[in-house]
A = this chain, B = another copy of it.
Amino acid sequence: MSWIKEITLEVPSLSDNTADIDRLRRYLSKTLKWEGPIEIDLDLVTKIPDFFRQNDFKFECCMFRDRSKIVITGIRERGSSFLGVAVDLGTTTYVIRIIDLKSKETLLEHSFINPQEKIGADILTRIHFATNKGVKELQDLIVDDINIRLKEMCDSLNRSVKDVFNMAVAGNTTMTHLFLGIDPKWIIREPYIPAVNEIDLIKAKDINIDLSPNSRIFCFPNIGSYFGGDLIAGILYTGIHRKEEISILVDVGTNAEVVLGNKDWLVACAGAAGPALETGMSKIGKRAGPGIIDRIRYDPDKKRFEYHTIGDLPPVGICGSGVIDLAATMFRWGLIDFRGKFVPDKAPSLFKELDGIWHIVIVPSEESGTKEDLLISQPEIDSLIRSKAAMYTILETITSTVGITFEDIKNFYVGGTFGNYIDPKSAIFIGMLPDIPIERFKGMGNTSLEGATLILKEPDFMEEIWEIQKKITYIELNVNQDFMMKFSAAKFLPHTDKERFPSVMSFFKNT
Protein backbone atom coordinates (compact mmCIF):
# COMPACT_ATOMS: atom_id res chain seq x y z
CA MET A 1 0.00 0.00 0.00
CA SER A 2 0.96 3.59 -0.53
CA TRP A 3 -0.73 6.98 -0.16
CA ILE A 4 -0.36 7.34 -3.91
CA LYS A 5 -2.83 5.51 -6.06
CA GLU A 6 -2.72 5.13 -9.80
CA ILE A 7 -6.27 5.55 -10.96
CA THR A 8 -8.14 4.78 -14.16
CA LEU A 9 -11.74 5.86 -13.94
CA GLU A 10 -14.43 4.60 -16.23
CA VAL A 11 -15.09 7.30 -18.77
CA PRO A 12 -18.56 8.83 -18.22
CA SER A 13 -21.28 7.98 -20.67
CA LEU A 14 -24.99 8.57 -21.06
CA SER A 15 -25.57 5.29 -19.26
CA ASP A 16 -23.19 6.17 -16.41
CA ASN A 17 -23.48 9.87 -15.84
CA THR A 18 -22.18 9.96 -12.28
CA ALA A 19 -20.64 13.34 -11.50
CA ASP A 20 -16.85 13.62 -11.65
CA ILE A 21 -16.22 13.92 -7.92
CA ASP A 22 -18.77 11.27 -7.08
CA ARG A 23 -17.14 9.03 -9.68
CA LEU A 24 -13.75 9.38 -8.03
CA ARG A 25 -15.22 8.76 -4.60
CA ARG A 26 -17.12 5.73 -5.83
CA TYR A 27 -13.90 4.31 -7.27
CA LEU A 28 -11.92 4.92 -4.10
CA SER A 29 -14.61 3.60 -1.77
CA LYS A 30 -14.74 0.43 -3.76
CA THR A 31 -11.05 -0.19 -4.28
CA LEU A 32 -10.06 0.85 -0.75
CA LYS A 33 -13.09 -0.88 0.80
CA TRP A 34 -13.66 2.38 2.66
CA GLU A 35 -17.15 3.41 3.66
CA GLY A 36 -16.19 6.54 5.55
CA PRO A 37 -15.97 10.06 4.18
CA ILE A 38 -13.60 10.99 1.38
CA GLU A 39 -12.95 14.70 1.52
CA ILE A 40 -11.95 16.83 -1.45
CA ASP A 41 -11.29 20.53 -1.04
CA LEU A 42 -13.56 22.82 -2.99
CA ASP A 43 -10.69 24.45 -4.89
CA LEU A 44 -9.58 21.00 -6.00
CA VAL A 45 -13.15 20.16 -7.01
CA THR A 46 -13.13 23.17 -9.34
CA LYS A 47 -10.02 21.88 -11.12
CA ILE A 48 -11.00 18.24 -11.44
CA PRO A 49 -13.47 18.20 -14.38
CA ASP A 50 -10.99 19.66 -16.90
CA PHE A 51 -8.09 17.72 -15.40
CA PHE A 52 -9.93 14.40 -15.77
CA ARG A 53 -10.71 15.05 -19.41
CA GLN A 54 -7.22 16.30 -20.26
CA ASN A 55 -5.86 13.04 -18.86
CA ASP A 56 -8.48 10.67 -20.22
CA PHE A 57 -9.55 9.90 -16.64
CA LYS A 58 -6.13 8.37 -15.92
CA PHE A 59 -4.04 10.00 -13.21
CA GLU A 60 -2.37 9.64 -9.82
CA CYS A 61 -4.03 10.59 -6.62
CA CYS A 62 -2.44 11.28 -3.25
CA MET A 63 -4.45 10.58 -0.14
CA PHE A 64 -4.01 10.97 3.56
CA ARG A 65 -6.28 10.14 6.44
CA ASP A 66 -7.04 10.53 10.08
CA ARG A 67 -9.22 8.41 12.28
CA SER A 68 -12.43 8.97 10.46
CA LYS A 69 -11.81 10.33 7.00
CA ILE A 70 -9.70 10.06 3.91
CA VAL A 71 -8.66 13.32 2.29
CA ILE A 72 -7.50 13.73 -1.29
CA THR A 73 -4.36 15.82 -0.86
CA GLY A 74 -3.42 16.02 -4.49
CA ILE A 75 -4.14 14.83 -7.99
CA ARG A 76 -1.45 14.81 -10.63
CA GLU A 77 -0.63 13.39 -14.01
CA ARG A 78 0.86 9.94 -14.04
CA GLY A 79 4.55 9.81 -13.30
CA SER A 80 4.48 12.94 -11.17
CA SER A 81 6.48 13.48 -8.02
CA PHE A 82 4.76 13.24 -4.66
CA LEU A 83 6.76 14.13 -1.59
CA GLY A 84 6.01 13.53 2.06
CA VAL A 85 7.60 15.22 5.04
CA ALA A 86 8.11 13.68 8.46
CA VAL A 87 8.77 16.06 11.33
CA ASP A 88 10.00 15.18 14.78
CA LEU A 89 8.99 18.29 16.65
CA GLY A 90 11.24 18.40 19.68
CA THR A 91 11.40 21.05 22.34
CA THR A 92 15.07 21.69 21.72
CA THR A 93 15.62 20.49 18.19
CA TYR A 94 13.36 19.43 15.43
CA VAL A 95 14.06 17.22 12.47
CA ILE A 96 12.70 17.39 8.95
CA ARG A 97 12.91 14.33 6.76
CA ILE A 98 11.74 14.43 3.15
CA ILE A 99 10.63 11.18 1.61
CA ASP A 100 9.40 10.15 -1.80
CA LEU A 101 5.87 8.91 -1.20
CA LYS A 102 6.06 6.52 -4.14
CA SER A 103 9.47 4.92 -3.79
CA LYS A 104 9.34 5.43 0.01
CA GLU A 105 12.99 6.49 -0.04
CA THR A 106 14.35 9.14 2.28
CA LEU A 107 15.62 11.97 0.10
CA LEU A 108 16.99 14.34 2.69
CA GLU A 109 17.01 14.88 6.43
CA HIS A 110 18.13 17.76 8.60
CA SER A 111 17.99 18.67 12.24
CA PHE A 112 17.38 22.25 13.40
CA ILE A 113 17.21 24.17 16.64
CA ASN A 114 13.60 24.81 17.63
CA PRO A 115 13.52 28.60 17.27
CA GLN A 116 11.12 28.83 20.21
CA GLU A 117 14.29 28.44 22.30
CA LYS A 118 14.56 32.20 21.90
CA ILE A 119 11.56 32.53 24.17
CA GLY A 120 12.69 29.88 26.60
CA ALA A 121 14.72 26.71 26.56
CA ASP A 122 12.27 24.82 28.72
CA ILE A 123 8.66 24.01 28.06
CA LEU A 124 7.33 25.78 31.14
CA THR A 125 8.70 29.16 30.11
CA ARG A 126 7.11 28.75 26.71
CA ILE A 127 3.76 27.80 28.19
CA HIS A 128 3.77 30.90 30.39
CA PHE A 129 4.78 33.02 27.42
CA ALA A 130 2.00 31.49 25.34
CA THR A 131 -0.58 32.20 27.99
CA ASN A 132 0.53 35.83 28.09
CA LYS A 133 -0.76 36.33 24.56
CA GLY A 134 2.35 34.76 23.05
CA VAL A 135 0.80 31.70 21.39
CA LYS A 136 0.80 33.27 17.97
CA GLU A 137 4.42 34.36 18.30
CA LEU A 138 5.52 30.89 19.36
CA GLN A 139 3.54 29.33 16.55
CA ASP A 140 4.97 31.75 14.00
CA LEU A 141 8.50 31.00 15.16
CA ILE A 142 8.28 27.30 14.46
CA VAL A 143 6.04 27.59 11.41
CA ASP A 144 8.22 30.20 9.73
CA ASP A 145 11.33 28.20 10.50
CA ILE A 146 9.84 25.03 9.05
CA ASN A 147 8.79 26.95 5.94
CA ILE A 148 12.28 28.37 5.44
CA ARG A 149 14.13 25.14 6.19
CA LEU A 150 11.83 22.97 4.16
CA LYS A 151 12.07 25.29 1.19
CA GLU A 152 15.87 25.19 1.36
CA MET A 153 15.80 21.42 1.56
CA CYS A 154 13.39 21.15 -1.37
CA ASP A 155 15.52 23.59 -3.38
CA SER A 156 18.59 21.46 -2.77
CA LEU A 157 16.65 18.49 -4.15
CA ASN A 158 15.49 20.53 -7.13
CA ARG A 159 11.97 20.11 -5.88
CA SER A 160 9.36 22.54 -4.67
CA VAL A 161 7.37 22.67 -1.44
CA LYS A 162 4.40 22.40 -3.81
CA ASP A 163 5.47 18.80 -4.38
CA VAL A 164 4.78 18.04 -0.72
CA PHE A 165 1.31 16.58 -0.18
CA ASN A 166 1.43 14.81 3.17
CA MET A 167 3.19 15.88 6.34
CA ALA A 168 3.34 13.84 9.54
CA VAL A 169 4.30 15.60 12.75
CA ALA A 170 5.22 13.88 16.00
CA GLY A 171 5.78 16.11 18.98
CA ASN A 172 5.07 16.21 22.65
CA THR A 173 1.70 17.55 23.73
CA THR A 174 2.86 21.12 24.31
CA MET A 175 4.90 21.34 21.11
CA THR A 176 1.92 20.02 19.18
CA HIS A 177 -0.37 22.61 20.78
CA LEU A 178 2.02 25.45 19.99
CA PHE A 179 2.50 24.22 16.43
CA LEU A 180 -1.26 24.45 15.97
CA GLY A 181 -1.53 27.79 17.74
CA ILE A 182 -3.40 26.41 20.73
CA ASP A 183 -2.65 27.92 24.14
CA PRO A 184 -1.33 25.02 26.22
CA LYS A 185 -2.02 26.70 29.54
CA TRP A 186 -4.33 24.06 30.99
CA ILE A 187 -1.68 21.41 30.43
CA ILE A 188 0.26 22.59 33.47
CA ARG A 189 -2.69 23.39 35.71
CA GLU A 190 -4.40 20.70 37.72
CA PRO A 191 -6.04 18.46 36.51
CA TYR A 192 -3.69 18.93 33.52
CA ILE A 193 -6.02 18.89 30.55
CA PRO A 194 -4.81 19.31 26.95
CA ALA A 195 -7.07 21.23 24.61
CA VAL A 196 -7.08 18.31 22.24
CA ASN A 197 -5.60 14.83 22.08
CA GLU A 198 -7.03 13.46 18.90
CA ILE A 199 -6.28 15.92 16.16
CA ASP A 200 -8.02 15.85 12.81
CA LEU A 201 -5.95 16.27 9.68
CA ILE A 202 -5.00 19.94 9.42
CA LYS A 203 -4.95 21.87 6.16
CA ALA A 204 -1.38 23.04 5.86
CA LYS A 205 -2.51 26.47 4.79
CA ASP A 206 -4.74 26.81 7.87
CA ILE A 207 -1.57 27.06 9.94
CA ASN A 208 0.43 28.81 7.19
CA ILE A 209 2.67 25.87 6.42
CA ASP A 210 3.61 26.26 2.81
CA LEU A 211 3.03 23.01 0.95
CA SER A 212 0.88 22.02 -2.03
CA PRO A 213 -2.56 23.67 -1.91
CA ASN A 214 -4.60 20.71 -0.70
CA SER A 215 -1.94 19.11 1.46
CA ARG A 216 -2.72 17.90 4.95
CA ILE A 217 -0.75 17.61 8.14
CA PHE A 218 -1.23 14.63 10.38
CA CYS A 219 -0.32 15.25 14.01
CA PHE A 220 0.15 12.14 16.10
CA PRO A 221 -2.47 12.11 18.86
CA ASN A 222 -1.55 12.75 22.47
CA ILE A 223 -2.44 10.49 25.34
CA GLY A 224 -2.37 13.29 27.87
CA SER A 225 -0.57 16.39 28.97
CA TYR A 226 2.69 14.59 29.64
CA PHE A 227 2.53 11.91 27.02
CA GLY A 228 2.45 13.16 23.50
CA GLY A 229 2.33 12.12 19.89
CA ASP A 230 6.10 11.71 19.75
CA LEU A 231 5.74 8.71 22.05
CA ILE A 232 2.87 7.24 20.08
CA ALA A 233 5.07 7.52 17.00
CA GLY A 234 7.85 5.82 18.94
CA ILE A 235 5.63 2.94 19.97
CA LEU A 236 4.42 2.56 16.41
CA TYR A 237 8.01 2.35 15.18
CA THR A 238 9.29 -0.12 17.79
CA GLY A 239 6.18 -2.27 17.41
CA ILE A 240 5.88 -3.03 21.15
CA HIS A 241 2.12 -3.23 20.66
CA ARG A 242 2.47 -6.00 18.07
CA LYS A 243 4.70 -8.38 20.04
CA GLU A 244 3.81 -11.36 22.22
CA GLU A 245 6.64 -10.73 24.66
CA ILE A 246 6.90 -7.75 26.95
CA SER A 247 9.00 -4.83 25.72
CA ILE A 248 9.80 -1.43 27.09
CA LEU A 249 10.57 1.80 25.29
CA VAL A 250 12.46 4.44 27.18
CA ASP A 251 12.74 7.84 25.65
CA VAL A 252 15.34 9.74 27.55
CA GLY A 253 15.48 13.48 27.47
CA THR A 254 14.82 16.20 30.00
CA ASN A 255 11.73 14.13 30.60
CA ALA A 256 11.96 10.40 30.75
CA GLU A 257 9.05 8.77 29.01
CA VAL A 258 8.47 5.08 29.38
CA VAL A 259 6.10 2.67 27.69
CA LEU A 260 5.83 -0.93 28.77
CA GLY A 261 3.69 -3.67 27.36
CA ASN A 262 2.92 -6.13 24.61
CA LYS A 263 0.16 -6.84 22.11
CA ASP A 264 -2.43 -7.08 24.89
CA TRP A 265 -1.63 -4.11 27.09
CA LEU A 266 0.45 -0.97 27.25
CA VAL A 267 1.21 1.22 30.22
CA ALA A 268 3.05 4.48 30.05
CA CYS A 269 4.43 7.08 32.38
CA ALA A 270 6.63 10.09 32.24
CA GLY A 271 8.70 11.89 34.77
CA ALA A 272 11.31 14.59 35.08
CA ALA A 273 14.79 13.10 34.74
CA GLY A 274 16.68 16.35 34.83
CA PRO A 275 18.75 17.94 32.09
CA ALA A 276 21.85 15.81 32.68
CA LEU A 277 20.71 13.11 30.31
CA GLU A 278 19.89 15.28 27.38
CA THR A 279 22.19 18.13 26.40
CA GLY A 280 24.61 17.08 29.09
CA MET A 281 24.70 18.22 32.61
CA SER A 282 27.49 20.72 32.59
CA LYS A 283 29.14 23.70 31.03
CA ILE A 284 30.78 21.35 28.59
CA GLY A 285 27.66 19.26 28.08
CA LYS A 286 26.53 19.40 24.46
CA ARG A 287 24.30 17.58 22.04
CA ALA A 288 26.05 15.04 19.88
CA GLY A 289 27.94 16.79 17.08
CA PRO A 290 31.44 17.35 15.65
CA GLY A 291 34.11 17.31 18.32
CA ILE A 292 31.76 16.03 20.98
CA ILE A 293 32.94 13.18 23.19
CA ASP A 294 30.56 10.25 22.85
CA ARG A 295 32.72 7.51 24.36
CA ILE A 296 35.13 7.81 27.25
CA ARG A 297 37.23 5.42 29.35
CA TYR A 298 39.64 6.05 32.19
CA ASP A 299 43.17 4.68 31.95
CA PRO A 300 44.22 4.08 35.57
CA ASP A 301 47.86 3.57 34.62
CA LYS A 302 48.23 6.79 32.67
CA LYS A 303 45.78 8.51 35.01
CA ARG A 304 43.99 10.12 32.12
CA PHE A 305 40.82 9.72 30.10
CA GLU A 306 40.79 8.04 26.69
CA TYR A 307 37.99 9.39 24.60
CA HIS A 308 36.41 9.27 21.19
CA THR A 309 34.93 12.34 19.55
CA ILE A 310 32.43 12.52 16.77
CA GLY A 311 34.37 13.19 13.57
CA ASP A 312 37.63 12.49 15.44
CA LEU A 313 38.06 16.23 16.01
CA PRO A 314 39.65 17.89 19.02
CA PRO A 315 37.14 17.61 21.87
CA VAL A 316 34.90 20.59 22.64
CA GLY A 317 32.29 19.00 24.88
CA ILE A 318 30.61 15.82 25.95
CA CYS A 319 27.17 14.50 25.11
CA GLY A 320 24.71 12.45 27.15
CA SER A 321 26.14 9.05 26.25
CA GLY A 322 29.61 10.35 27.04
CA VAL A 323 28.48 11.59 30.43
CA ILE A 324 27.08 8.17 31.31
CA ASP A 325 30.33 6.55 30.16
CA LEU A 326 32.24 9.08 32.24
CA ALA A 327 30.31 8.39 35.44
CA ALA A 328 30.62 4.64 34.89
CA THR A 329 34.35 4.69 34.31
CA MET A 330 34.95 7.08 37.23
CA PHE A 331 32.96 4.78 39.48
CA ARG A 332 34.77 1.75 38.07
CA TRP A 333 38.18 3.18 38.88
CA GLY A 334 37.23 4.75 42.19
CA LEU A 335 37.38 8.37 41.04
CA ILE A 336 33.92 8.71 42.53
CA ASP A 337 32.57 6.67 45.40
CA PHE A 338 29.20 4.92 45.65
CA ARG A 339 27.58 8.27 46.61
CA GLY A 340 29.06 9.87 43.49
CA LYS A 341 31.50 11.98 45.45
CA PHE A 342 34.91 12.76 43.99
CA VAL A 343 37.86 10.80 45.43
CA PRO A 344 40.74 13.20 44.60
CA ASP A 345 43.30 10.95 46.28
CA LYS A 346 42.93 8.45 43.44
CA ALA A 347 44.47 10.82 40.90
CA PRO A 348 45.40 14.11 42.51
CA SER A 349 46.68 15.57 39.24
CA LEU A 350 43.20 15.39 37.67
CA PHE A 351 41.32 17.26 40.38
CA LYS A 352 41.16 21.04 40.75
CA GLU A 353 39.37 23.26 43.23
CA LEU A 354 37.93 26.33 41.54
CA ASP A 355 35.95 28.91 43.53
CA GLY A 356 35.72 26.35 46.32
CA ILE A 357 34.14 23.70 44.08
CA TRP A 358 35.96 20.51 43.10
CA HIS A 359 36.34 19.76 39.40
CA ILE A 360 37.88 16.92 37.46
CA VAL A 361 39.79 17.51 34.23
CA ILE A 362 38.33 15.40 31.49
CA VAL A 363 40.49 16.84 28.72
CA PRO A 364 43.46 19.06 29.48
CA SER A 365 43.65 22.42 27.71
CA GLU A 366 46.47 21.37 25.38
CA GLU A 367 44.28 18.65 23.85
CA SER A 368 40.94 20.42 23.82
CA GLY A 369 39.38 22.12 20.85
CA THR A 370 38.56 25.11 23.05
CA LYS A 371 42.17 25.50 24.28
CA GLU A 372 40.78 25.31 27.82
CA ASP A 373 40.44 22.39 30.21
CA LEU A 374 37.19 20.48 29.75
CA LEU A 375 36.00 20.15 33.34
CA ILE A 376 33.18 18.46 35.22
CA SER A 377 32.30 19.70 38.70
CA GLN A 378 31.04 17.81 41.72
CA PRO A 379 27.57 19.48 41.54
CA GLU A 380 27.35 18.36 37.94
CA ILE A 381 28.06 14.78 38.92
CA ASP A 382 25.45 15.16 41.70
CA SER A 383 22.99 16.28 39.07
CA LEU A 384 23.74 13.22 36.95
CA ILE A 385 23.22 10.96 39.95
CA ARG A 386 19.79 12.50 40.53
CA SER A 387 18.90 12.03 36.89
CA LYS A 388 19.96 8.41 36.78
CA ALA A 389 18.16 7.77 40.06
CA ALA A 390 14.99 9.33 38.68
CA MET A 391 15.26 7.19 35.57
CA TYR A 392 15.73 4.00 37.55
CA THR A 393 12.92 4.87 39.97
CA ILE A 394 10.54 5.50 37.11
CA LEU A 395 11.43 2.11 35.62
CA GLU A 396 11.07 0.43 39.02
CA THR A 397 7.71 2.08 39.61
CA ILE A 398 6.16 1.22 36.27
CA THR A 399 7.23 -2.43 36.37
CA SER A 400 6.07 -2.92 39.94
CA THR A 401 2.78 -1.20 39.11
CA VAL A 402 1.99 -3.88 36.54
CA GLY A 403 3.49 -6.62 38.71
CA ILE A 404 6.40 -7.69 36.55
CA THR A 405 10.14 -7.80 37.12
CA PHE A 406 12.87 -6.32 34.94
CA GLU A 407 13.72 -9.89 33.99
CA ASP A 408 10.32 -10.19 32.28
CA ILE A 409 11.26 -7.47 29.82
CA LYS A 410 12.51 -9.12 26.67
CA ASN A 411 13.23 -6.01 24.59
CA PHE A 412 14.59 -2.85 26.10
CA TYR A 413 14.37 -0.11 23.49
CA VAL A 414 16.21 3.09 24.16
CA GLY A 415 15.08 6.04 22.11
CA GLY A 416 15.59 9.74 22.34
CA THR A 417 18.36 11.92 21.07
CA PHE A 418 21.13 9.73 22.38
CA GLY A 419 19.37 6.38 22.27
CA ASN A 420 21.69 5.24 19.52
CA TYR A 421 24.87 6.28 21.28
CA ILE A 422 24.25 5.14 24.81
CA ASP A 423 26.37 2.22 26.01
CA PRO A 424 23.99 0.07 28.02
CA LYS A 425 26.92 -1.43 29.93
CA SER A 426 27.77 1.99 31.29
CA ALA A 427 24.15 2.80 32.02
CA ILE A 428 23.77 -0.43 33.97
CA PHE A 429 27.07 0.20 35.71
CA ILE A 430 25.82 3.43 37.26
CA GLY A 431 22.43 1.89 38.00
CA MET A 432 20.49 3.96 35.54
CA LEU A 433 19.17 0.96 33.61
CA PRO A 434 18.35 -2.37 35.21
CA ASP A 435 20.83 -5.23 35.17
CA ILE A 436 19.33 -7.48 32.53
CA PRO A 437 21.16 -9.32 29.71
CA ILE A 438 22.94 -6.76 27.61
CA GLU A 439 21.65 -8.11 24.28
CA ARG A 440 18.12 -7.10 25.23
CA PHE A 441 19.03 -3.40 24.90
CA LYS A 442 18.45 -1.83 21.54
CA GLY A 443 19.26 1.74 20.66
CA MET A 444 16.46 2.90 18.39
CA GLY A 445 17.57 6.37 17.39
CA ASN A 446 14.91 8.98 16.84
CA THR A 447 11.83 6.80 17.28
CA SER A 448 9.53 9.76 16.95
CA LEU A 449 10.91 10.66 13.52
CA GLU A 450 10.90 7.01 12.47
CA GLY A 451 7.26 6.65 13.51
CA ALA A 452 6.31 9.76 11.56
CA THR A 453 8.17 8.38 8.55
CA LEU A 454 6.46 5.02 8.86
CA ILE A 455 3.01 6.58 8.64
CA LEU A 456 4.02 8.34 5.43
CA LYS A 457 5.20 5.10 3.93
CA GLU A 458 2.57 2.65 5.10
CA PRO A 459 -1.08 3.76 5.21
CA ASP A 460 -1.99 0.48 6.88
CA PHE A 461 -0.20 1.57 10.03
CA MET A 462 -2.70 4.36 10.55
CA GLU A 463 -5.16 2.01 12.22
CA GLU A 464 -2.46 0.93 14.66
CA ILE A 465 -2.18 4.46 15.98
CA TRP A 466 -5.76 4.31 17.25
CA GLU A 467 -5.15 0.86 18.63
CA ILE A 468 -2.14 2.13 20.55
CA GLN A 469 -4.07 5.16 21.74
CA LYS A 470 -6.95 2.99 22.88
CA LYS A 471 -4.79 0.34 24.49
CA ILE A 472 -2.48 2.59 26.43
CA THR A 473 -2.98 3.28 30.11
CA TYR A 474 -1.21 6.34 31.32
CA ILE A 475 -0.02 6.13 34.90
CA GLU A 476 0.36 9.43 36.66
CA LEU A 477 3.66 9.16 38.53
CA ASN A 478 2.77 10.24 42.01
CA VAL A 479 5.87 11.66 43.56
CA ASN A 480 4.74 10.39 46.93
CA GLN A 481 6.62 9.05 49.90
CA ASP A 482 7.06 5.63 48.33
CA PHE A 483 8.51 7.15 45.15
CA MET A 484 10.84 9.37 47.15
CA MET A 485 12.08 6.42 49.17
CA LYS A 486 12.80 4.46 46.01
CA PHE A 487 14.46 7.54 44.55
CA SER A 488 16.67 7.97 47.61
CA ALA A 489 17.71 4.34 47.45
CA ALA A 490 18.63 4.80 43.77
CA LYS A 491 20.85 7.82 44.41
CA PHE A 492 23.82 5.54 44.94
CA LEU A 493 26.07 3.75 42.48
CA PRO A 494 24.68 1.47 41.30
CA HIS A 495 22.04 1.28 44.07
CA THR A 496 21.77 0.83 47.82
CA ASP A 497 20.43 -2.63 47.14
CA LYS A 498 23.53 -4.00 45.43
CA GLU A 499 21.95 -7.37 44.75
CA ARG A 500 19.91 -5.74 42.01
CA PHE A 501 23.11 -5.29 40.03
CA PRO A 502 24.89 -8.62 40.16
CA SER A 503 26.89 -7.93 36.99
CA VAL A 504 28.28 -4.73 38.49
CA MET A 505 29.03 -6.41 41.79
CA SER A 506 30.68 -9.39 40.14
CA PHE A 507 32.87 -6.98 38.26
CA PHE A 508 34.16 -5.44 41.46
CA LYS A 509 34.58 -8.91 42.97
CA ASN A 510 36.57 -10.10 39.95
CA THR A 511 38.96 -7.18 39.91
**What is the interface of chain A, defined by CB distance below 8 A to chain B?**
12-14, 17-22, 25, 36-37, 39-40, 42, 45-46, 48-50, 53, 67-69, 135, 180-183, 185-186, 190-198, 200, 202, 206-207, 222, 224-225, 476
CB-based contact A195/B13 at 8 Å: no
* In the bound complex, CA of A190 to CA of B207 (Å): 42
| A37-B68, A69-B69 given; A19·B193 CB < 8 A | yes
List, sorted by A's number, 23 A–B pairs whose CB atoms are closer than 8 Å.
A12-B191, A13-B191, A14-B191, A14-B192, A17-B193, A19-B196, A20-B195, A20-B196, A22-B197, A22-B198, A36-B37, A36-B68, A37-B67, A37-B68, A37-B200, A42-B182, A42-B202, A42-B206, A46-B182, A49-B185, A50-B183, A53-B186, A69-B69
CB-based contact B42/A193 at 8 Å: no
CB-based contact B20/A186 at 8 Å: yes
CB-based contact B12/A193 at 8 Å: yes
Residues of B within 8 A of A224 (CB): 17, 19
* In the bound complex, CA of A186 to CA of B21 (Å): 13
Residues of B within 8 A of A69 (CB): 37, 68-69
Residues of B within 8 A of A206 (CB): 42
* In the bound complex, CA of A150 to CA of B182 (Å): 33
The copy count of this chain in the complex is: 2
Residues of B within 8 A of A36 (CB): 36-37, 68
Residues of B within 8 A of A181 (CB): 42, 46
* In the bound complex, CA of A20 to CA of B187 (Å): 11
CB-based contact A49/B183 at 8 Å: yes
CB-based contact B14/A49 at 8 Å: no
Q: Which residue of B lies closest to A207 (CB)?
A: B42
* In the bound complex, CA of A266 to CA of B13 (Å): 22
CB distance from A349 to the nearest CB of B (A): 54
| A190-B14, A191-B13 given; A200·B22 CB < 8 A | no
* In the bound complex, CA of A190 to CA of B182 (Å): 50
* In the bound complex, CA of A53 to CA of B191 (Å): 12
* In the bound complex, CA of A185 to CA of B195 (Å): 45
Q: Which residue of B lies closest to A186 (CB)?
A: B49
| A36-B36, A206-B42 given; A194·B476 CB < 8 A | no
Contact partner of A195 among B48, B180, B182, B476, CB < 8 A?
A: B48
CB-based contact B45/A195 at 8 Å: yes
* In the bound complex, CA of A19 to CA of B476 (Å): 15
CB-based contact B37/A196 at 8 Å: no
Residues of B within 8 A of A39 (CB): 200
- Per CB-CB distance, the 4 closest pairs between chain A and chain B, nearest first, are A37-B68, A21-B196, A19-B197, A19-B194
* In the bound complex, CA of A67 to CA of B68 (Å): 13
Contact partner of A42 among B17, B68, B180, CB < 8 A?
A: B180
Residues of B within 8 A of A49 (CB): 182-183, 185-186, 193, 195
CB distance from A385 to the nearest CB of B (A): 30
* In the bound complex, CA of A49 to CA of B181 (Å): 13
